Amino acid sequence: MMREWPFTIPEDLRQAIEAANQDAWAAPFRAWAKSHGLRLKLGWWQGLERSMSEQDQWRWPPKPQDRWLGMKEWLERHDVPAPEKLPTRPEKTRAGLGH
């Protein structure tokens, strides 16, 4: 059975997108995919570009998590398996809750 992609953006991808220009999602995504050994076909790329350009038409600029949901849907549509260990964002604890 194929591992599922997380709903929350992987931490390394979030950092890469935030470090880039707001509209520059493609280079960070390609570098991230390569660093995790994802096998992506060039013929698929047009669908992802279309999805991201639809997000660019939103009233408010898309956040990295918005970008990720479009990327996640695209990866799943093309049956790209999730790598075993994706860096996840550290859980935040709230002071005073006794945890």
pTM to 2 decimal places: 0.72
In this prediction, residue 96 carries a pLDDT of: 47
* pLDDT (tens place) for every residue of the chain, 99 residues total: 668 899 999 999 999 999 987 678 989 999 999 999 998 888 898 999 999 899 888 888 889 999 999 999 999 999 999 998 888 776 544 554 454
Residues 6+ away with beta carbon under 8 Å from 21? none
> Which structure tokens are listed for 6?
């997380």
CA 90 to chain CA centroid, Å, is 16
